[in-house]
Amino acid sequence: MHNTWKIYILAIVSFLVGTSEFVISGILDRVSSDVGVILATAGQLITVYSIAYAIGTPILIATTSKIDRRKLMLAALVLFFIGNLITILTTGYTMLVVARVVLALGTGVFMVVALTVSAQMAQPGKQGSAIATVLLGFNLSLILGVPLGRVIASTYDWKMIFLGIGVLSLIAMLIISFTIPRSKGEAAVPLREQLALLKNPRLSLTLSISFFWIMGYTIIYTFITPFLLSITGMSDNLVSIGLFAFGIASLLGSQVGGYGADKWGIPRTLIGSLLFHAGILLLMTAFAHITAAVFPLLMLWSFFAWSTFPAQQVYLIGMAPKASGILLSLNTSIVQLGMAVGAVIGGLVVEKFSLQAVGVVGAIGVAIAILPAIISLAMRKQTAN
């Protein structure tokens, strides 16, 4: 019990670093205008971040495995602070790209170590709850961080968001240095050993569900603010409200997804959420010019999109319980790569076709995820028999 509040500290800092990742989607139009690039190019800031996170984090974690965990968290936050400082001082797009890479590496290392430390500090049998608490902080950054960022960007300069995050990261360093106990490094699982799991056809298929699901989602989410402003015709205030409602719906969806995996089974929850996700994106495109229709569809999209995630996590853990940590780590990298590809495709669609077309292409991406899901679940059934 005495360590519970320390785990919540890690959750709060996770919210802070998570906001630096997700907030860019809510202010993309402002960033695009300020650095003098088109929307499609600005959208690649998400691609750069995701690639740096997916590739850089496992490498840094492997090379720093013997370092004291508290010291490593503080080092990650120093890197995170530098990333925010570069963002504030940026005078052009190239500098902003560098800032996103630095932020991604700092965030990735902090999150992996925070999850490990939270499990170490938890009471016996409560490790799962501790990890879930830290992840909740990260997920809340999508719910609260993005709409709050939009409000700040609408009132002040968008760089004020990163100024605030930078100052708070300094405070976080101070608090962690005095509250989180030292803990020895651990033997890292070699990257070769982690990637060896991909040789299992069913595991690879199941991980591809995550890739296509998040790819389809990111194709439209990257440009959701300009979509709502330019295509739907929402005001700045209404966009902020819409993003907040989107975040709340994602939290509800993740809770229902977890409940559904236990109550209705993984196949129904996983396939059902993907079908609804793809269908709602098509409806959003069809009714894109009608605010009264887009607003509830925005919430339904978020609800069904994020109900997939817990069902997928439960499915992965069940496939290889003894290697669940490695699998979830691989899944995180796959998700980040999917986000990177989604942002690239979204940018190409906006540049070559139209902003409204991202909904259709996003729906196709999500629909593709249904195929490996069906095959993987069929293989599971055969194995069970």
- Taking residues 180-196, what's their average pLDDT? 67
| Tokens describing residue 166 | 């930078």
pLDDT at 313: 76
46 three-state secondary structure: helix
Asked if pLDDT for residue 270 goes beyond 80, the answer is yes
Q: At residue 149, what is the residue type?
A: G
pLDDT at 213: 96
Q: Do 336 and 50 touch, CB atoms closer than 8 A?
A: yes
Asked if pLDDT for residue 362 goes beyond 90, the answer is yes
pLDDT at 276: 97
- Of all residues in the chain, the percent with pLDDT exceeding 90 is 46
Q: How far apart are CA 195 and CA 191, in angstroms?
A: 6
Q: Do 367 and 214 touch, CB atoms closer than 8 A?
A: no
Asked if pLDDT for residue 384 goes beyond 70, the answer is no
- Taking residues 102-129, what's their average pLDDT? 82
94 three-state secondary structure: helix
Q: How many residues does the chain have?
A: 385
Asked if pLDDT for residue 186 goes beyond 60, the answer is no
Instruction: Note the pLDDT tens digit of each residue in 208-230.
Output: 999 999 999 999 998 999 999 99
pLDDT at 129: 67
Asked if pLDDT for residue 315 goes beyond 90, the answer is no
Q: At what angle do helices 324-352 and 358-384 cross, to 10 degrees?
A: 150
Q: How many CB atoms lie within 10 A of CB 193?
A: 11
- Range 349-352, long-range pairs (CB < 8 A, 24+ positions): 349/219, 350/39, 350/40, 350/43, 350/223, 351/38, 351/40
pLDDT at 188: 57
pLDDT at 141: 84
Q: Of 187, 210, 184, 183, give the one whose Cα is nearest residue 327.
A: 210
Q: How far apart are CA 339 and CA 330, in angstroms?
A: 14
Asked if pLDDT for residue 190 goes beyond 70, the answer is no
| Tokens describing residue 195 | 């990637």
pLDDT at 65: 74
Asked if pLDDT for residue 22 goes beyond 80, the answer is yes
Instruction: Note the pLDDT tens digit of each residue in 63-111.
Output: 887 788 889 999 999 999 999 999 999 889 999 999 999 999 999 989 8
Q: How far apart are the first and last CA of the chain?
A: 44
| Tokens describing residue 186 | 């651990």
- Of all residues in the chain, the percent with pLDDT exceeding 70 is 91
pLDDT at 328: 67
pLDDT at 48: 93
**Cα dihedral 158→337→216→11 (10° resolution):** -60
Q: Do 367 and 278 touch, CB atoms closer than 8 A?
A: yes
pLDDT at 187: 56
Lowest mean pLDDT among 158-167, 238-247, 254-263, 267-276: 254-263
- Range 349-354, long-range pairs (CB < 8 A, 24+ positions): 349/219, 350/39, 350/40, 350/43, 350/223, 351/38, 351/40
Task: Based on DSSP, count helices (H) and strands (E) in the chain, helices before strands.
Answer: 17, 0
> Higher model confidence: residue 175 or residue 58?
175
- Tell me the longest C-alpha to C-alpha distance in the chain: 61
Asked if pLDDT for residue 194 goes beyond 70, the answer is no
Helix (H) or strand (E) holding 129: helix 127-140
> Higher model confidence: residue 65 or residue 384?
65
Asked if pLDDT for residue 317 goes beyond 80, the answer is no
pLDDT at 137: 82
Asked if pLDDT for residue 375 goes beyond 90, the answer is yes
Distance of CA 292 to the CA centre of its chain: 28
